[in-house]
A and B are shown apart, each in its own frame.
Chain A
Amino acid sequence: MNAITVLIISLIGIGVGYFLYAKTIDRSIIRPDGSKITPAKMFMDGVDFTPANRNVLFGYQFKSVAALGPIVGPIVAVRWGWLPALLWIILGTMFIGWVQDYGSIMVGVREEGQTFGALSFRLISRRARTILLLFIYAYLLLLMAAFGKIVGFDLMTNPAVPLGVLLVMALGMAAGHMTYKLKMDILVTTGIIVVLSFVGIWLGTLGTVKSLFVAINGGATSPILFGSVTWAQFLWSLVVLVLCYLGATLPIWRWAQPINYVAFWIVFLGIVGGTIGLVLWHPSIPADFPALSSIDGKLGDLSALGPLWPLLFVTIACGAISGWHSLVSSSGTSRQLELETDALYVGGGSMFLEMFLAVLSLLCATVGVGYDKYVALVGKGANAGVFANGLATFLSQIGVPVSFGLPYGAVFLTLMALTIMYLCVRFMRVASAEFLGDAIPVIRNTVVGTIVALALSAIMIWTGFWSYVWILFGGSNQLMASLALLIVSLWLKSKGKNYLWAFLPFIFMFITSIAALLTTAYQVIGANLKGGLPIDKVVGNWIAGGLAIFLSLAALVLAWDAIRALARPAEAPKTAQA
C-alpha cells in the first residue's frame, strides 16, 4: 500500500469520525448551548478561569496532548504488523479517543470547572478520589521511567545527540532571558534562537565533537557499570534527571517555559519537513514489512511481545486514546472554553489531529526505515532510533542530509520527552507533599519532594526491560483513560442522558487495560522465576510486576465503587418554579 493511500484513509477516518459520529453525539446527546455561561466566564479570575478563543484553545490543547506517546507507540506496535496498528489508531480515535477528550471537557464545563479528583469524590465515593490520586502518581512514575529510558538509554547515548540537546537547553534559557529581562521582541528572539539551535544540532554531528562524546561514553562499546546498565546509559540518564530537577524547581520562566517554547519550533519544523518529504517521496510500504506478523508480536528475529489483544491496545496509547488527555482537558481546557459549542472543535479536533501524527510515526517505521533496518534497530533496543532514522529519510527527500537528519530526529524526541518529564516531577512533588506532608513534614520541602520523585524515577529507569515498562505505562495510561470515560458515563447517567457512547468504550478499555497489566505482570514475574537475569532486571521486574498488580487492584476497587454509583437513580429533572 502506498503511504499517500494510508494518509488518505486516515483523512477519511477523520472526516467520518469527526463530521458524522462526533457531531451527531454532540448535537443529539450533549446539546451544547452557545448562550450558556461557561466556567471560564462565570468564575473569571484572569488566571485559571479565562475565556479564550476557540482557535487559540485548539492550539493549546493539541500542544498539551501531543508528546512522545503518539510517536513511540506505533513504532513499537508495528511488531504485530502495520495493519492492526493502523486500524487501532484510526478506529480507536474514531470511537474512543475523541469521546474521552470531548467528554472530559464537557463534564468540566457543565460541572463548574471541577477536576477529576473532585468529580470522582462527588460522583463515585470518598476513597475513589484517594485511589485516583495514587493511581495518577503511579502512572506518572511509569511515564518517567518509560520516557527516561528512551532519552537516557537510547537517544543521548548516541554521541551525535548530547551536544545538540544541551545547546538547545542553553539557548532556551537565553530565550527566556532575552524575552523577560532584555524585553526583546518575541519574533526576533525566536528567529535567533531557532537558527542557533539548528547550528547547535549540526555542531554535534562534527567528527571532533562525536569523538569527545564517544570518550565520555567510555569508548565505542561503553563498559557495564552495574547489572546490565552501561556507563553511558547511567551517565546520560543521570543528566536527564538533573535536567528534570532544574525543570521542576527553577522558576518556570527561567527554565521549563522558554525551553519548551524553543522545543516546540524544533518539533514543529521537523513534523512539517517530514510530512512534505513523505508526500513528495510517496513510497509504498515495503512488501517485506508484514501487514500482520504474528498474533504474539514476533517479528523476524525479535522476541515475541505478547498477545495482540490486549497488548497492542495499550502499546499505542496517545495516538488512539490516552488518559493524559483527560487530565489536560478537565483541569486546563474546560476552564478556558468561551462557548460550550467550542468543546468538540477543541477536544475532538485536537485528538483527530494527534491521530494523524501517530499515522505519520507508523509510516516512519514502515516506509522510512524498512523491515531489515527496523528489526536491526529494535533488536539493539533503539526503539526511538527508529523514529530518528525514519524522519531523517523523509527529510532527505527535501534535501536535508541524513547525517544531520538523524541527530535532529533524536533531539526532536528528547525535547518532546523532557517537556513532559518536568511536568510529571512537578506533579509528583506536589502529590507527595499532599499525601505524606502531615506524617513526614520534610517532604513538603521543594528540594526533598523533587529528589524523592527523581529517586523513584531513577530506580525505575535503571532497572527492568524497556518494552515491559512501555506496556505498563501504556496500560496505566489506558486505565486512566477508562476511568475518565467512567466518570463521563456516570455524569451522563446522573443527568439522565444516553451514556452508552461513553460507557461501552469504558468497558472495552477497562477490560483491555487490566488484561494488559496482568499479562505483563505474569510475563515479568515469570521471567524472574525462570532465573538467569542480571540483578537490575530482577529488581525491575519485581517492581514492574508489583506496580501492575497494584494498578489493577486499585482500578477494580474504583470500578466496584463506580458500579454502585451507577446503580443510583438519576437526578430528577429540575422543574420550573412558579
Chain B
Amino acid sequence: MLADPPRLSKWCETLRKCGRALRDIFYGMTTYEMVRDLRKERARLEHLFVLITMGDLLGIPILPPYYSLRLLPYVVPCIEGWRCCLLRERDLTDLTDFET
C-alpha cells in the first residue's frame, strides 16, 4: 500500500531536519574549534593592524595621519569589533579558553 504523499513528505522533512542537526553536532565536535581558532588568529592580526593604523583613536600617534586616512576605508569594518575587544574588561579566566 502506498503511503499518503503529504505524510511521506512530512517524514522526509523530519528526516532531513534530523540529518541537518546531526551534521551540525558533528561540526561542533570536530572542525568548529578549528574555525574558532582561525577566527581568533585573524582577529589578533586585524586588531594589531588597526592599532598600528588607527592608534590615534587611543591617543597613540603611530603612523602619519595621511596614511591612516588612506587606509581608513579598509579599516572601518574592523573598528567596531576592535573597540569591543579592546575595551572589554578581562579576567584571568578569560585569558585561556577551556575548550579541548
Residues of chain B contacted by A129 (CB below 8 angstroms): 91
Interface flag for A58 (CB, 8 Å): yes
Which one of A58, A64, A116, A257 lies within 8 Å of B25 (CB-CB)?
A58
A58 touches B99 (CB 8 A): no
A330 CA / B97 CA spacing, docked (Å): 10
A257 touches B99 (CB 8 A): no
Which one of B28, B39, B94 lies within 8 Å of A60 (CB-CB)?
B28
Stretch at the interface among A291-299, A362-370, A422-430: A422-430
Which one of A47, A56, A121, A423 lies within 8 Å of B27 (CB-CB)?
A56
Cβ of A426 to closest chain B Cβ, rounded Å: 5
A431 CA / B43 CA spacing, docked (Å): 23
Cβ of B89 to closest chain A Cβ, rounded Å: 7
Residues of chain A contacted by B66 (CB below 8 angstroms): none
Question: In the complex, how many residues of chain A place their beta carbon closer than 8 angstroms to a beta carbon of chain B?
Answer: 54
A63 CA / B96 CA spacing, docked (Å): 17
User: Which chain A residue has the least Cβ–Cβ distance from B94?
Assistant: A115
Main SS of chain A's interface residues? Answer: helix
B81 touches A55 (CB 8 A): no
Chain A 259-276 interface 0/1 with B at a Cβ cutoff of 8 Å (1 = within) = 011001100100000000
List CB contacts (< 8 Å) of B45-100 with chain A. Answer: 81, 84-85, 88-89, 91-100
A3 CA / B65 CA spacing, docked (Å): 73
State the total of A-B contacts with C-beta under 8 angstroms. 129
User: Which chain A residue has the least Cβ–Cβ distance from B88?
Assistant: A43
User: Which chain A residue has the least Cβ–Cβ distance from B97?
Assistant: A332
A430 touches B25 (CB 8 A): no
Residues of chain A contacted by B88 (CB below 8 angstroms): 43
List CB contacts (< 8 Å) of B1-49 with chain A. Answer: 20-21, 24-34, 36-41, 43
Known: A47-B40, A67-B100, A117-B91. A257 touches B32 (CB 8 A): no
Cβ of A508 to closest chain B Cβ, rounded Å: 24
Interface flag for A15 (CB, 8 Å): no
Which one of B25, B29, B43, B97 lies within 8 Å of A331 (CB-CB)?
B97
A252 touches B99 (CB 8 A): no
B98 touches A46 (CB 8 A): no
A52 touches B32 (CB 8 A): yes
Cβ of A345 to closest chain B Cβ, rounded Å: 11
B43 touches A115 (CB 8 A): no
A331 touches B94 (CB 8 A): yes
A56 touches B32 (CB 8 A): yes
A58 touches B30 (CB 8 A): no
Residues of chain A contacted by B31 (CB below 8 angstroms): 186, 261
A257 touches B37 (CB 8 A): yes
Known: A53-B24, A60-B29, A64-B100. A330 touches B34 (CB 8 A): no
B24, B30, B98 — which one has the most chain A CB atoms within 10 A of its CB? B98
Residues of chain B contacted by A331 (CB below 8 angstroms): 93-94, 97-98
A59 touches B32 (CB 8 A): yes
B29 touches A46 (CB 8 A): no
A530 CA / B24 CA spacing, docked (Å): 57
Interface flag for A471 (CB, 8 Å): no
User: Which chain A residue has the least Cβ–Cβ distance from B82?
Assistant: A45
Residues of chain A contacted by B40 (CB below 8 angstroms): 47-48
Can you name 4 extra interface pairs (CB under 8 A) apart from A55-B21, A59-B30, A253-B34? A43-B84, A56-B24, A60-B99, A420-B100
Provide 9 A-B residue pairs closer than 8 Å at the C-beta atoms, listed in order of the A residue: A44-B81, A48-B40, A55-B25, A55-B28, A58-B28, A117-B91, A117-B93, A330-B93, A430-B96
For the complex of A and B, 6 pairs with smallest distance between CB atoms: A59-B28, A55-B24, A117-B91, A59-B29, A56-B28, A115-B93
